[in-house]
Structure 1
């Protein structure tokens, strides 16, 4: 009896690989944090390694006072401009970085499977940049802004856009797409009441809004869809 190999079913992996850009962001964040964590325990860097995290925060964290100085003096040195992005890759502790990485992998996978790698990276970086800008312009906070949450919230905004689009195609109420961000903001409010409110929530919210708005342009067919909508309106 002959065997027919032409119609054998294709094996489908139950786990789709993570988008490369998400893996790259994850490795950068967790790699930097691993260096700081090992150094703080004296495992690398010797006695000087204990201060590596503090030195990195002083050099790469986003600073409202430094932004005010640049704004007032109309001077924009590169070493300070990079803080708009670099702050997202330095964290206050291992747990801080871990929470960012978990959300980055989850949201980055869902967004990166639809968006191109460039679009996914743009959402993360631009959302974090606008989050820092809002932190500087709307607040007078002396505390530095650190951590990747504003960029992650940008990915939440992009994911919300995808849900919003899908619900619209199904004829369902599109406001349901904002359930996730409402839930997360509720958790932040509870933590704020329990442990003290920190103003970095503003950068997260602006990151979310930026990610949602940017998705109208960088999502597949997004610019064409936006142009058609503007013509109809």
Structure 2
């Protein structure tokens, strides 16, 4: 079959994924320009700090909600708003590129709505996992939901390798390499506990994809029935 090399790679990209990536980069671009005095006037210098205080996921606030039994909507929003705040432009750009690449692969296999569901659930799951560690550093950045897409991709690859009769453990090579790199950088340069949120996002995406793939729910019930 002839391949049209003039076709844009964005043609098969889910528009919703492109929109999310543009929002991530756009927000960070506004912060960067504001910090340099090129946008928004003198008050724009504090845009990033204000966003961190209002939208980052905070363990201290989460633990306060659990202790007090109060769950204000503005704080529950933090479970889904933290991916739109980043530490720097390079941080946001790298997250957006990974979101586009993985969103395209998972979106082609599962469709846009299922892909968005994976992003939302892994976003929540990543923050929830981070909430169990004791750290004053707030959680920001889109990597937990991106890792959720990695979890979805891993399960899809695991299924495909099984159909081919290949070793299914190979499907976990990508997550193993990424977590290994994070651990190495943490040991060499020090770092936060963001990897806990990334792992929580990965697990959430992996488990949800088990249900979302065609026939996945029936397959899961059959496995649970066999283990009884």
Alignment TM-score, normalising by the size of structure 2: 0.93
> Is contact 1:114–1:220 with CA below 8 Å preserved after alignment?
no
Separation (CA, whole Å) in 2 of partners of 1:194 and 1:111: 33
Question: Structure 1 regions of 5+ residues with no counterpart?
Answer: 1-8
Of 59, 75, 86 in structure 2, the residue corresponding to residue 80 of structure 1 is: 75
Q: CA deviation at 1:10?
A: 8.0
- Bigger CA drift: 194-203 or 152-161? 194-203
Shift of 1:186: 1.1
Structure 2 counterpart SS, 1:114 = helix
Find the counterpart in structure 1 of residue 143 from structure 2.
Answer: 149
The residue that corresponds to 1:135 in the other structure is: 130
2: distance between equivalents of 1:215 and 1:24? 22
1:162 alignment counterpart: 156
Retained in 1: the 8 A contact 2:137–2:192?
no
C-alpha distance in 2, partners of 1:44/1:178?
Answer: 44
Aligned residues: 224
- Asked if structure 2 preserves the Cα contact closer than 8 Å seen for 1:123 and 1:214, the reply is yes
RMSD of Structure 2 on Structure 1 (CA): 1.7
Tell me the distance in 2 between the aligned counterparts of 1:28 and 1:175. 35
Question: Which shows bigger deviation, 71-80 or 26-35?
Answer: 26-35
Corresponding residue for residue 113 of structure 1 = 108
Which residue pairs with 2:24 in the alignment? 29
1:1-233 equivalences under 5 Å are 13=7, 15=9, 16-137=11-132, 139-231=133-225
How far apart are residue 221 of structure 1 and its match?
A: 3.2
For normalisation by structure 1, the TM-score amounts to 0.91
Distance change in 2, residues 1:96/1:17 (3 Å): same
Partners of 1:70 and 1:80 lie apart in 2 by: 9
Distance verdict in 2 for CA 1:201–1:108, change over 3 Å: same
Q: How far apart, CA to CA, are the structure 1 residues paired with 2:149 and 2:143?
A: 10
Unaligned runs of 5+ in 2: none
Could you tell me how far apart the structure 2 residues matched to 1:41 and 1:225 are? 54
Q: Distance in 2 between matches of 1:186 and 1:231?
A: 35
- Spell out, residue by residue over 1:38-86, the C-alpha distance to the aligned partner (whole angstroms, 9 max, x if none): 1111111100001001000100000000001111000000000000010
1:20-49 deviation per Cα after TM superposition (whole angstroms, max 9, x unaligned): 121121112111111111111111110000
Matches of 1:163 and 1:14, distance apart in 2: 25
SS in structure 1 at match of 2:37: coil
